[in-house]
């Protein structure tokens, strides 16, 4: 079944989809690698599933013919790729910090994916609009907390994102982060959701800073492919490919959040191997370059960033534990007492509320105590590690070549090649009018060719330093180009005085509109 077309009073074509939605054919808000995003409106009394009062909508239209051409004629692979993405989207329950996917319609020639429309820009835009090229530490702290909540929500439902970066973090009108772009995400059925329900009074569950995180203890999602945007990729991801081993997808997402937090605090990338660097060069730069300390960063913020950007994944702070870090103490909403919740559910009175408040306060103090103990244990372990490294230093000094530690604790010869500069400032975007071109390959560096897509009829903006984060590509498993990847269509660098941007579910328009998805 194909969408029906009609001509409106203003001369624009109106597309009706299954009697549910009306799409203005010329109302384009963004374009992707093989998709276009348009504003749509529900017809009559139709209420989209999962919608909220006042919600606005967009539709991401994917042409099957172009999708198949990207897969070099492999119809089965092309269809499996987009259906995998849809499966991920349908599996994620609603969350305040994740863009809402509503439903999809498949026709003979197209896939139509419907999302909520987010009325603002993305985190990349916000950083570029800042006069200092970075965010205030308090703002960075608030956004980091929301990003962690969004990613934990995905992890608890067996989803790893694998492409966390400022361009994929939308900012709504009420200043809420919305995680989007699940085109590279992976679902591992039953990793967390397969667990039997915990006793609500289980001590481990009660100690967790985020509800349900006890299900993450001892869990990992085994991955082996290099995927996502290289500059946000964890070092163990590259190492796993070189050694034909595996890495933990949960831990790799944690590293990416650390990179994003570093960028918001400093305006630069922690490691910058160059836009055309190979995967081995990216890995070498990360492993051979000490993490540069940004200027004007508080000791607590610096300690937090270091905990997420630990090159040894076994020593990297788990994402749920990051919520206990002192840097986030004044923004994290502490969980209330389970007993207090039960009291409030049974009866409402002044006496009950007073008792519930006391339980909440006791629960808060207990969690703070546990967090402090965990911090002290971590500090002791670091001291032990440093002592062990000091004892091993004389043996290392006699080695014929310098050694650099790899993510799994082994060692490898370090080459004499010096790493590239790490000072990539986001406050001085390039003025060139080069369109950001996304490519990808299956388990390889981004050297593959992709079919040329139709050129945009609007102007294109110059590449910002954050756009360079793609390092040439977001590497995609399956098809040679990233599903739902978007190319902004704006010719000027954003400024505070510019027209308010609109973020939606697939890309940015001439006024920097960005879609709330891929």
To the question of whether residue 60 is assigned a binding role by annotation, the answer is: yes
- What is the 3-state secondary structure of 228-286? ECHHHCCHHHHHHHHHCCCEEHHHHHHHHHHHHHHHHHHCECCCCCCCCCCHHHHHHHH
Alpha carbon dihedral 156, 212, 319, 233, in 10-degree steps, equals 0
CA 183 to CA 85: how far, in whole Å?
6
What is the DSSP secondary structure assignment for residue 294, as one 8-state letter?
A: P
* Rg, Å, the chain Cα set: 24
Nearest to 133 by CA among 423, 394, 443: 423
3-state secondary structure 387-427: HHHHHHHHHHHCCCCCEEECCCCCEEECCCCCCCCCCCECC
**Beta bridge partners of residue 178, listed in sequence order:** 170
| Dihedral pair phi/psi, residue 303, rounded to 5° | -65, -40
Cα(338)–Cα(360) distance, integer angstroms: 8
Those residues with Cβ within 8 angstroms of residue 333's Cβ, 6 or more apart along the chain or in another chain: none
Token digits of residue 295: 């200027």
**Whole-angstrom distance, CA of residue 115 vs CA of residue 61:** 11
The SS3 assignment for 37 reads strand
Q: Backbone phi, then psi, for 417, in 5-degree steps?
A: -70, 130
CA 181 – CA 162 distance, rounded (Å): 10
**Residue positions forming the annotated binding site for ATP:** 60
Binding-site residue ranges: 60
């Amino acid at each position: 079944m194909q969408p029906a077309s009609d001509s409106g009073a203003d001369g624009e074509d109106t597309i009706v989809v299954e009697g549910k939605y009306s799409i203005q054919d010329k109302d384009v808000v963004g374009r992707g690698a093989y998709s276009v995003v348009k504003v749509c409106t529900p017809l009559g009394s139709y209420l989209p599933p999962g919608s909220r009062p006042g919600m606005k909508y967009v539709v991401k239209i994917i042409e099957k013919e172009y999708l198949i051409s990207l897969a070099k004629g492999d119809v089965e692979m092309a269809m499996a790729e987009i259906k995998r993405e849809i499966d991920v989207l349908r599996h994620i329950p609603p969350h305040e910090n994740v863009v809402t996917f509503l439903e999809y319609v498949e026709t003979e020639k197209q896939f139509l994916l419907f999302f909520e429309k987010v009325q603002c820009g993305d985190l990349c835009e916000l950083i570029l609009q800042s006069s200092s090229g970075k965010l205030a530490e308090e703002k960075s702290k608030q956004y980091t907390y929301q990003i962690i909540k969004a990613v934990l929500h995905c992890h608890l439902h067996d989803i790893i994102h694998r492409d966390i970066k400022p361009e994929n973090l939308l900012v709504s009108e009420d200043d809420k982060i919305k995680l989007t772009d699940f085109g590279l995400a992976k679902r591992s059925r039953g990793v967390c959701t397969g667990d039997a329900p915990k006793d609500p009074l289980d001590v481990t569950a009660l100690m967790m800073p985020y509800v349900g995180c006890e299900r993450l203890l001892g869990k990992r999602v085994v991955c082996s492919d290099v995927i996502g945007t290289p500059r946000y990729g964890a070092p163990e991801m590259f190492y796993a490919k070189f050694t034909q081993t595996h890495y933990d997808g949960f831990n790799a997402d944690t590293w990416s959040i650390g990179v994003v937090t570093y960028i918001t605090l400093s305006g630069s990338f922690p490691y910058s191997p160059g836009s055309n660097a190979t995967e081995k060069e990216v890995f070498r730069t990360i492993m051979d370059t000490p993490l540069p300390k940004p200027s004007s960063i508080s000791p607590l913020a610096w300690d937090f960033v270091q905990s997420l950007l630990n090159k040894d994944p076994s020593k990297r702070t788990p994402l749920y534990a990051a919520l206990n870090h002192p840097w986030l103490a004044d923004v994290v909403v502490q969980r209330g007492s389970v007993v207090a919740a039960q009291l409030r559910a049974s009866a409402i009175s002044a006496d009950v509320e007073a008792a519930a408040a006391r339980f909440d306060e006791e629960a808060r103090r207990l969690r703070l105590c546990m967090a402090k103990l965990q911090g002290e244990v971590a500090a002791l372990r670091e001291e032990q590690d440093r002592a062990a490294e000091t004892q091993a230093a004389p043996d290392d000094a006699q080695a014929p070549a310098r050694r650099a530690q790899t993510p799994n604790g082994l060692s490898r010869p370090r080459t004499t090649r010096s790493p590239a500069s790490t000072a990539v400032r986001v406050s001085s975007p390039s003025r060139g009018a080069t369109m950001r071109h996304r490519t990808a390959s299956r388990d390889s560096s981004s050297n593959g060719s992709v079919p040329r897509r139709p050129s945009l009829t609007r102007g294109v903006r110059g590449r910002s330093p954050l756009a360079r984060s793609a390092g040439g590509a977001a590497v995609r498993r399956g098809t040679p180009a990233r599903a739902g990847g978007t190319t902004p269509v704006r010719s000027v660098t954003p400024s505070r005085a510019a027209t308010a941007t609109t973020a939606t579910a697939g890309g940015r328009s001439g006024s920097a509109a960005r879609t709330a998805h891929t």
